[in-house]
Every structure is written in structure tokens, then in C-alpha cells.
């Protein structure tokens, strides 16, 4: 709408990242370049994913409005590469568990923010037409920050050698949820014909519960021994 509106959206999208970075103490660890490296890995993984998708999943040519359940599921499966990427980042950083998790998640999420939200905001929110979707997009980026922190935590737990047997199942389930979250959301929106605000709310609730679960597991794991 105006430059002011763009500023609003940008502030809404970026400040939570900044706050998280500052308050989590990452700045004290001098973790900036580590985060940048994590971001670079994000780019690399996305490129690989895209090449893979383009090679093996030609565009779906079904009728309009038809939801290609299997196709979408297969595409979501490719997101497993994200887990691999996160693991790659974390395995390269020595340090405490929470430090590794935070670096990986921050770098990952920030790279995603810059790559997939910056340009639409710049192009769209500055345009003459007003649309709530840019505010929604900014909120969505906040949600994805939480999502990636939780996801990194779950990946970290999964790759630990000393993971107790009883943890194996819940962690795997959470891992699956993290990967297929976007797919589940899409399914929700498609089946229940949700409006954009409701969809955002559902997404927030879903992400919140996943991260709460992973927090529980994390605390249990960290403080059990």
C-alpha cells in the first residue's frame, strides 16, 4: 500500500528474529557466522530439493480444484531433506545442545525469511493495493521461527546416541509431524475450506502444540541424566 505499510510488515516479520537472537544469548557466543553458514546450507538443501522435485514430480495436470493427495504427500516427503540439512548444520557445530539447536534453527529460519518473504513483501506490500495477506505472511514467518526451533530440537534429540528407547517413538512421531506439517495444513485448508485468518490460527496452534511437545521431551531428556 505504502512504504509505511511495508515497514510495518517488515517489522512484524523480522523483529521477533532479532529479539530471539539477542535474548537467547546467541550473540554472546559469537554465533553470527555460524548462523550464516546454516543459512547457506538451507539454500543448498532447497536447491537440491527443487532439482529433485523438478526431476521426479512433473507438474500435476489434473482438473482445477482437484486435490492430488498422493502427489502432495510425495512432495511433502521431499521435505525430509530439511531434516538432513538441519542435522548437517548441527553436526558441524561443536557445543552444547541448546546452542547447536538455536544456531541451526535461527540460521535456517532467517534464510527462509529472507529468501521467501522479503521479495513478496517488497513487491506486494509497497504496491497500491492493500491486502491483509502481507500481515498474515509476517505472522506466518513468526510461526515458522518457532517451528524450526522445535524441528531442530527434535532432530537433535533423534540423532543423539544416548536417546533412551522409550523416547524413540515420540521423537519419531514429532519428526514426522514436523516434516508433514505443511502437508497437514494444506489438507486442513482444503477439507475444511478455511479462511486465511483461520488457517493462520490453526497453523499457530498446531505449531505451538508441536513445539510444546518437543519442549517436554527435550527437558525430559536433558534433565533425566
Chain residues that interact with another protein, rule: CB under 8 A: 1-2, 4-5, 7-8, 11-12, 15-16, 19-20, 23-24, 37, 40-41, 43-44, 46-47, 50, 84, 87-88, 91-92, 115-116, 118-120, 123-124, 127-131, 135, 142, 215-216, 219-220, 223-224
SS3 94: coil
Cα 43 to Cα 144: distance, rounded to the nearest angstrom: 16
CB of 26 to another protein, least distance (A): 12
DSSP per residue, 198-209: HHHHHHHHHHHH
Q: Which is nearer to another protein, 73 or 215 (CB)?
A: 215
CB of 20 to another protein, least distance (A): 6
Query: What number of H helices and E strands is found in the chain?
Result: 8, 0
CB of 113 to another protein, least distance (A): 12
Q: Which is nearer to another protein, 10 or 187 (CB)?
A: 10
Task: Please tell me what DSSP assigns to residue 129.
Answer: S
Nearest CA to 105 among 46, 150, 159, 60? 150
CB of 179 to another protein, least distance (A): 17
CB of 189 to another protein, least distance (A): 20
Q: Which is nearer to another protein, 199 or 211 (CB)?
A: 211
Torsion of CA 125, 191, 183, 157, to 10 degrees: 110
Residue found under cell 485448508 = 189
Task: Please tell me what DSSP assigns to residue 59.
Answer: P
CB proximity list for 60: less than 8 A, separation 6 or greater: 68, 71
Q: Which is nearer to another protein, 73 or 216 (CB)?
A: 216
Q: Which is nearer to another protein, 81 or 184 (CB)?
A: 81
Taking CA atoms, 164 is separated from 23, 97, 160, 218, in Å, by 31, 16, 9, 12
Q: Is 113 exposed, middle or buried (0-12, 13-18, 19+ CB in 10 A)?
A: buried
CB of 136 to another protein, least distance (A): 13
Q: Which is nearer to another protein, 15 or 60 (CB)?
A: 15
Q: Which is nearer to another protein, 167 or 188 (CB)?
A: 167
Residue found under cell 544469548 = 25
Amino acid at each position: 500500500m505504502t512504504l509505511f505499510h511495508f515497514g510495518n510488515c517488515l517489522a512484524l516479520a523480522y523483529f521477533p528474529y532479532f529479539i530471539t537472537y539477542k535474548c537467547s544469548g546467541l550473540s554472546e557466543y559469537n554465533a553470527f557466522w555460524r548462523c550464516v553458514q546454516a543459512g547457506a546450507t538451507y539454500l543448498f538443501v532447497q536447491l537440491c530439493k527443487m532439482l529433485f522435485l523438478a526431476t521426479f514430480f512433473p507438474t500435476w495436470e489434473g482438473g482445477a480444484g482437484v486435490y492430488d493427495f498422493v502427489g502432495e504427500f510425495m512432495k511433502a516427503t521431499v521435505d525430509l531433506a530439511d531434516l538432513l540439512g538441519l542435522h548437517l548444520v548441527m553436526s558441524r557445530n561443536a557445543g552444547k545442545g541448546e546452542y547447536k539447536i538455536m544456531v541451526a534453527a535461527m540460521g535456517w529460519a532467517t534464510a527462509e525469511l529472507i529468501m521467501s518473504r522479503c521479495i513478496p513483501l517488497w513487491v506486494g506490500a509497497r504496491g497500491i493495493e492493500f491486502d491483509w495477506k502481507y500481515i498474515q505472511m509476517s505472522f506466518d514467518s513468526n510461526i515458522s521461527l518457532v517451528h524450526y526451533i522445535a524441528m531442530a530440537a527434535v532432530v537433535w534429540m533423534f540423532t543423539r546416541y544416548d536417546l533412551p528407547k522409550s523416547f524413540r517413538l515420540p521423537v519419531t512421531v514429532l519428526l514426522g509431524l514436523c516434516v508433514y506439517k505443511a502437508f497437514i495444513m494444506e489438507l486442513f485448508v482444503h477439507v475444511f475450506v478455511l479462511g486465511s485468518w483461520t488457517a493462520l490460527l490453526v497453523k499457530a496452534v498446531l505449531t505451538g502444540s508441536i513445539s510444546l511437545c518437543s519442549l517436554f521431551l527435550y527437558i525430559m531428556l536433558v534433565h533425566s541424566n
